[in-house]
Amino acid sequence: MTVLVSNSLPRSLRRERATDTRASSRAWMHWAWLPAAAALGLSLLGIAAIGTTEPGLANRQFGFLMVGLMMAGFVGAQHWRWMRRWAWLLFAVNVACLAFLLVPFVPDAVVRPRNGARRWINVGSLDFQPSELVKLTWVLAMAAWLRTTATVKRFEGVLATILVTAVPMALILLQPDLDSAVLFGPTLLVMLLAAGARLRHLAIVACIALVLAPCSYPFLQKHQRDRIDALFAQVMGDTRVNDGIGFQANRAVTLAAAGGVAGAGKEEAGTLIHYNRLPEEHTDMIFAVIACRWGMLGAVAVWVLGAAYAFGAFMVGLRAGTMFGRLVAVGIGSMVFLQLLVNTGMTIGLLPVTGMTLPFVSYGGSSLVALWITTAVLFSIASRRVRGFDLDA
């Protein structure tokens, strides 16, 4: 069945009826099973890794996994058109939540500060972290915006997307949270690439970004600057940082390497991690725990699963019949994979230590649930396919 394209009005202005299901059908064999399986694998691996040193938290993580799967089941059953329709609204609400975190007069009962950072909103018995969901809603919003070539082919359009992206980035940076903020840039780049932006424009933007990035250095907070310094130093073989700001990184590297090829086993790894005082061993540094307990094989398993997730997401994007679906899939895949890369890179000493967690693996309810919802979106896109290709859908 061909799709009629009308030239009378820009597509984006045409109202589409929610019940218009002519153009899509439900499928059960699709690529999104691969990311789902990878996500499940990573989640279980994470529970096992957390259990090395904190069995209680492992149980809680299992509970979060259950919640995440339930939420994912719910979201995955929805049609992605709803998401496209409400993308901007969801994005705006999410940004408002981020802004809300920064409002100084909010009582601590609502915004619970932790370790000097204001990242969580207390909703009942759970802490809800807006910055996790904003990654998803931003991808959706960007995908909804960039699905027409109008924006993406023009340089002004590219700049406009950058400006819009800067809003949540800035709000996150002010939390303060360097880590999540850096994911937006590369993901936006990939999405622009996928949407068909001209390479010229992207090259210009990339050059400007490369020039500007070191200029932002003085604006960073001290501990963020220290970490970048420590990384440079470590890579250059300067051992002075090992006991100071580089302490966290160095212990992680030592423990990760101590696992050898096949790992040290549960008991030994638990002991080593405890007495070597690895900080954040169930959140940021969980990869070191995996490498210590299961060795290089375990670490490679994480990478393989992550690559499977990304590959699956890209394949979903390839097979998606709509630009929206393609962009969402590509955005999700690259964002999750990038986060995985950055976290593992920082654990083994290739990148500055940031507070970025390992997706699906690190302990954290809101992060796990948000990621499973993200995976469910992929599922939704993949399972409701459009026959042929509708660029504007």
* Residues of the shown chain interacting with another protein in the complex, contacts defined by CB under 8 A: 7, 10, 108, 112-114, 148-150, 153, 190, 193-194, 196, 238, 240-241, 243-244, 253-261, 264, 271-272, 274-277, 291, 295-296, 299-300, 303, 307, 310-311, 314, 317-318, 326, 330, 334, 337, 341, 344-345, 348-350, 388-389, 391
C-alpha distances out from residue 17 to 22, 81, 87, 122, 254, Å: 11, 10, 16, 36, 58
Q: Which amino acid is at 187?
A: T
User: Which residue carries 């619970």 as its tokens?
Assistant: 112
Minimum Å distance from CB 7 to another protein?
7
Question: For residue 145, what are the β-bridge partners?
Answer: none
Nearer to another protein, 234 or 362 (CB): 234
Coil, helix or strand at residue 321: coil
Q: Which of 32, 3, 37 is nearest to 20 (CA)?
A: 3
Nearer to another protein, 90 or 313 (CB): 313
Minimum Å distance from CB 194 to another protein?
6
Minimum Å distance from CB 108 to another protein?
5
Separation of alpha carbons 393 and 140, rounded Å: 13
On the 0-12 / 13-18 / 19+ scale of CB atoms within 10 A, 229 is middle
Supply 227's token pair.
């970490």
Q: Which of 393, 379, 265, 380 is nearest to 35 (CA)?
A: 379
Minimum Å distance from CB 19 to another protein?
26
Nearer to another protein, 182 or 373 (CB): 182
Minimum Å distance from CB 299 to another protein?
6
Nearer to another protein, 317 or 365 (CB): 317
Coil, helix or strand at residue 385: strand
Minimum Å distance from CB 106 to another protein?
13
Nearer to another protein, 19 or 56 (CB): 56
With beta carbons less than 8 A apart as the criterion, state whether 321 and 386 touch: yes
Question: For residue 322, what are the β-bridge partners?
Answer: 390
Nearer to another protein, 79 or 319 (CB): 319
State the CB neighbour count (10 A cutoff) for residue 118.
20
